[in-house]
Amino acid sequence: MATTVINIEDAVVSYREDIALRGVSLKVESGEFVGIIGPNGAGKTTLLTVVNGLGKLLSGRVRVLGNSLSRGNGHSLRKKVGYVAQVENIDPRMPMHVREVVMIGRYGVLGLFRRPRKHDWEIVDEMLELVGMTHLARRPIGHLSGGEQQRVAIARCLSQEPKLFLLDEPTASLDWKAKTDILELVRQIHDSRQLTTLFVTHDLSALPIACDRVVLMKEGLIKSEGSPGELLTDENLSELYDMPISAVQNRRRGVIPT
C-alpha cells in the first residue's frame, strides 16, 4: 500500500511583501511522479522549497517523509531530498572537476568531520555511469554544456541516495535534443530507483510524458490536479496561461503547445 510521503496543509509562504503561496494543500504518495506546471510566478519553486525545508512557512503544516517541518530540522531532512535546479552559469575557470561536484551530494549524508571514503567515490562513479557522464568525470565542471551540467546535477542529486527527487525547471535553457534526453533520463531514473518525484516546469513541452498526476498552479494557488489526460485540455491550459493554447499530445514529448 502506498504511503503519503508529502503532506502539505494550507501552506502560506511570503517573501517580503509578496505572498508566494496562498494556502496550498497537496498530498503525494510514495512512488508517484507528479508534474507541477503553471506560468512564471505561480509559486511552483516555492512549493518545492516548502518540501525541502528551505521555504519559510507563515502558516500551515508540512509533513515530509514522516517529519513535521519546523525551524531547525531542515538540514537533516534535506539529506534525504534530492534537488535539481535549472542550469546556472558556472565559471569556466572554477577549480572543480565533475567527479568532485557529484561528490557534493554525499557531503550532507557524510556529516561534519567525516571525509569521503572509497565507498562514497564508488557511489559517485556509479551515478556518473547511470547518467552517461563517466567519460567526462575528470573534466572541469565549467567546461560542460548545459545538458551535460544537468546530467551532472542529476548524478549529484542521486549520490545523496534520496527518497524524494525534486526537479525545478531542469530543462530550462536547454536545446530540444538535450531537453528530450534529460526528460527521458528523469523518467527512467524515477522508475528504476523507485523514487517519488516532483517535476516543476513553466514550459508545457518540458512536461515529461507519463506523469502519474499533474498539478496546475497559478498566482500562489493550486487551480486543479488530476491525471494528465483529463487535465491537460486546451481549455484548462488556455485559462492557466491566459492565452489560447492548443496542445498536441506527442508519444515521445508529452504536450506540445501549438
Q: Which residues bind another protein (CB under 8 A)?
A: 52, 54, 75-79, 81, 83, 85, 88, 91-97, 99-101, 104-105, 107-110, 112-113, 115-116, 121, 135-136, 138-140, 143, 156, 160
Instruction: Give min distance, CB of 132 to another protein, in A.
Output: 15
Nearer Cβ to another protein (91/234): 91
Nearer Cβ to another protein (72/229): 72
Nearer Cβ to another protein (88/235): 88
Task: State how far the Cα of 144 lies from the Cα of 98, in Å rounded to an integer.
Answer: 9
Q: Nine-digit cell at 228?
A: 494528465
Instruction: Give min distance, CB of 74 to another protein, in A.
Output: 8
Q: Strand 196-201's sheet: what is its strand order?
A: 81-84, 164-168, 196-201, 33-37, 213-218, 221-226
Q: Nine-digit cell at 249?
A: 499530445
Nearer Cβ to another protein (19/110): 110
Closest CA to 11 of 60, 81, 74: 60
User: What is Dmax (Cα atoms) for the chain?
Assistant: 56
Instruction: Give min distance, CB of 177 to another protein, in A.
Output: 18
Instruction: Give min distance, CB of 253 to another protein, in A.
Output: 28
- Per DSSP bridges, beta strands 213-218 and 57-64 are unpaired
How many Cβ atoms from other residues are within 10 Å of residue 213's Cβ? 17
Instruction: Give min distance, CB of 25 to another protein, in A.
Output: 24
Nearer Cβ to another protein (110/221): 110
